Structure 1
Amino acid sequence: MSANKITDLIHHPYQPPEGFEAPQIGVHKASTVIFPNVAAMRSRDWKNKSGYTYGLHGTPTTFTLEERIASLEGGLQCVLVPSGLAAIVAVDIALLGQGDDMLLPHNVYGARLGLTQEELPRFGITTRYYDAMDAADLAAKITPKTKLVWLEAPGSVTMEFPDLPALVRICREKAVICALDNTWGAGLAFNAFDLDGQGLTVDISSQALTKYPSGGGDVLMGSIVTRDEALHHKIKLSHMRLGYGVAANDAELVLRSLPSIGIRYRAADQSARQLAHWLKTRPEVEAVLHPAIEGAPGHQNWQNLCRKRPVAGIESARSATDLIANEHRSEGYAAGLFSIVFHEKFSPSQVDAFVDALKLFKIGYSWGGHLSLAVPYDIASMRNQNVAHWPYRGGLVRFSIGFEEAADLMQDLSQAFHALTKLREN
């Protein structure tokens, strides 16, 4: 010990004993990582999680979250990034270069349009769009310059559910890498790495962990999951060069929420379906856009991918868990997210007034949390209106269903519809 108390504090010899175990893992915060000697410093490799070198490259907390997200998605490798949009950016930057072409669905997540329209062109990367509901359109638009195809299931805001296996098969036939934004599915609605039960797989599955994996509306984070080691290595090295990292406390929050993701996802799904069916009966509503609701765009595609046949003999299952799992196989998963289209007679300002009249539903972006949200969208400003399967002209409102009682949310919607009627009468 030195004669200086501050130095003694910095170099205090105490080490807590090994063997502590609790439901949640420890939160390891670090930029600097200490090595026992120079040989260890020079020999450690962070890329395969065999050792720690620098906080940006991983700690026990982030490594654990990566492994659990990979398992949830059905993949083998995962890297974490600061947001869902950052996951998309990281894939684009890792795989595309000057002269390359990328294809996006017409109903792509709106926030990524700025990247493709303003940023990527400066690097000589072109972006074109295909009709996600027409596999032949994708096939026709893939050229020798096409290096990456992005998929969404369902489409952003308008919720069209594509024939995902058909789109992936086309990418396989054309030898083009395909990446899926799987935030809606959350690794639960379907297995992106085995779409047909025979190993048909996307190359990359990204998520905004901000949504269902976090579940609290208080974390920004994204993930990139793969099964191919060489592809993962390429993304991971680019990820390192971009300097992407996530905070240990944020990783802790997602780790704490993950064990309940199935219960939360199913609860939101059930309430959303109840409300969606009721909204179909409302005279103000022209269409309900929910993949699990009959008549919605791509409903049959959702059934084919997300609904599974019950397991034979399950009626003799010994546990309630087995019975519940079998029920979910037959009903399928569909998240707690859907949109409605108002009849054309309602002006945009009247649709906005309807949203303003809601009390339990709050106005806010994102979804997947405990609080129900509503946001009106101007579809004409978001994408090409000439896509054949978008016949509507009325205003659209997207709902994210939280954990409030469905009956209370229904009452809230009813009073907002009543306020809308009075507004039109005046």
Structure 2
Amino acid sequence: MAAAKRGSPLDRRRACGDFVDMDPLALDPYSFQMSPPPPRHDPAPGADFETLCAHFGEDRMAQRGAVAVPIYQASTFMFPDSAAWEQREAPDSPYYEYTRVGNPTTAVLEAKIARLEHGNWALAFGSGMGAIAAAINACVHAGAHVVASGTIYWPTRRYLRDYLPRFGVETTFVDSCDPADFEAAIRPNTRLMYLESPTSGLFEMPDVAPIAAAARARGVVTVFDNSWATPCFQTPLDLGCDLVVHSATKFIGGHSDVVAGLVAGREDTLRRRVFRELELLGSVCDPFAAWLLIRGLRTLKVRMEQHQRSGLALARFLEQHPAVRRVYHPGLESHPQYAIGRRQLRGYSGLFSFELHDQSREATNRFMDRTRLFTIGVSWGGYESLVIGGTFISKDPQQPAWIIRLHVGLEATEDLIADVKQALES
């Protein structure tokens, strides 16, 4: 594991005497040893994304030649002798102890995600919100302040707005698209900057690099939710962020059959803090869920390219339809932050939204009731196309009350366009 970088936000806080009382090793003389470092087996050094998804972190000869990663469905791991038991606390210990704090199947997943996100480590959780909460908790304490994008994922917003104040943590929500707003909101007690790009609902594109740079200059940790783009299309650590979180339930899983979350980063100090949350709160990713995510990664690039093709085709169709007032897709030239998206993203997923000229609840519900391939359902990132309608947070008082969000699945592009067309026109 890499040591904390010189000049990192945590280095600056430590120099000022902050975080001393938050050191996981100082809080409790007893703590489970972290799992062994994830396997770094790399059969093709310098390989491209697809090859890394398929092979990185897997030593198949150590798996008795099995093509698929074994599922270590065990709660406890045994030690061969007392010497091995004593060695469990060594940094280079090869032994696992208890699945809540480490499992060989989960370690392969974590190795892959760390490599794909251009990080040094990753940790797997039992849900996306488990990962998000752990990343946030690892960076704040009573009396701390958070700056967050105003249009982030609704449960994350609720966690910051409603849950953390119980523990003395305050959050300021700012204009997602104005880097100056983020910097102006930083206070002496600000510990965390929380971002999404694109944001939920309205798919605004914050310019991440200057926001992260401003946070780093003030000793503030930046956490970024990369669930929409995945490391296939965006690597936030390269933009200056400190932690990346995922709802792995979405595109990484890709088949609507697993609930899980991920956190990735570069600094070992942050890994220890995030691991502390995993260890004590117990939001652990079980081995079978980890195996499903490993399976999902093998086809991630292929699926994301299809989501992109169909999503852009459908967005362009909607943009030209007379019943549609506006389409919120960062891949459209009409998007206000299109240039930022072209600079930050390597591609686009299949999740976007639009509004009808008739901006009523009734019109929204009529559209949802008429679609056949787009079924009504929450979440996104699976093979199936989904639609929901609702209200989304915006600072713009002219923002319509009701918009429609589409998750464009893996069905034939022409069939999906035909389905939306008949729903708009029937």
- Using the size of structure 1 for normalisation, the TM-score is 0.83
The residue that corresponds to 2:37 in the other structure is none
Q: In the aligned structure 1, how far is the partner of 2:402 from the partner of 2:248?
A: 29
Aligned with 1:193: secondary structure? helix
Q: How does 1:165-204 map to 2 (within 5 A)?
A: 165-195=209-239, 201-204=240-243
Query: Is 1:147 aligned to 2:191, yes or no?
Result: yes
Q: Measure how far apart 1:392 and its partner are.
A: 3.2
Structure 2: distance between partners of 1:370 and 1:176: 38
Deviation at 1:212, TM superposition (A): 1.1
Q: Is the Cα contact below 8 Å between 1:271 and 1:401 reproduced in 2?
A: yes
The percent of aligned pairs where both chains have the same amino acid is 31
Q: Match for residue 41 of structure 2?
A: none
Instruction: Specify the alignment match of 2:325 in structure 1.
Output: 286
Residue matched to 1:85 = 129
Where 1:194 maps in the other structure, the secondary structure is helix
Query: What stretches of structure 1 of length at least 5 have no aligned partner?
Result: 1-16, 196-200, 307-331, 420-426
2: CA distance, partners of 1:415 / 1:346: 19
Matched, 1:357 2:370: yes
| 1:228 match | 267
Query: Is 1:341–1:394's contact at 8 Å kept on the other side of the alignment?
Result: no
| Equivalent residue runs for 1:88-127 within 5 Å | 88-127=132-171
- How large is the Cα RMSD of the aligned pairs? 1.7
Q: Is this contact kept in 2: 1:46–1:57, CA < 8 A?
A: no
Matched, 1:368 2:375: no
The residue aligned with 1:138 is 182
1:246 aligns with 2:285: yes
Which letter maps to 1:363? Answer: I
- The question of whether the paired residues in 1 share the 8 Å contact of 2:389 and 2:402 is answered with yes
Shift of 1:114: 2.5
Could you tell me which amino acid in structure 2 is paired with residue 407 of structure 1?
E
The counterpart of 1:296, out of the listed 318, 321, 335, is: 335
Q: What residue is the counterpart of 2:72 in the other structure?
A: 28
Match of 1:157? 201
Describe how 1:382-397 pairs up with structure 2 within 5 A.
383=393, 385=394, 387-388=395-396, 391-393=398-400, 395-397=402-404
TM-score (norm 2): 0.83
Partner SS state of residue 187, structure 1: helix
**1:407 maps to which residue?**
414
Deviation at 1:244, TM superposition (A): 2.4
Q: Deviations over 1:157-193 (max 9, x none)?
A: 1100111112111112222100000111211112212
Looking at structure 2, the residues matched to 378 and 364 of structure 1 have their Cα atoms a distance apart, in angstroms, of 15
Distance in 2 separating the partners of 1:130 and 1:212: 27
2: CA distance between counterparts of 1:223 and 1:37?
34
How far off is 1:263 after superposition? 0.6
Q: Is the 8 A contact 2:324 2:354 kept in 1?
A: yes
**Alignment match, 1:342:** 356
Q: Counterparts of 2:90 and 2:328 in 1: how far apart (Å)?
A: 45
CA shift, 1:209, in A, is 0.8
| Residue aligned with 1:88, SS | helix
- The aligned residue for residue 294 of structure 2 is 255
Distance 1:336 1:45 in 2: 44
Q: Report the count of equivalent residues.
A: 366
Matched, 1:274 2:281: no
- Partner SS for 2:274: helix
Q: What is the rounded CA distance, in whole Å, between the counterparts of 2:230 and 2:219 in structure 1?
A: 26
Tell me how far 1:51 sits from its aligned partner: 2.1
3-state DSSP class of the match of 1:398? strand
Whether the aligned pair in 1 keeps the contact of 2:79 and 2:95 (CA below 8 Å) is no
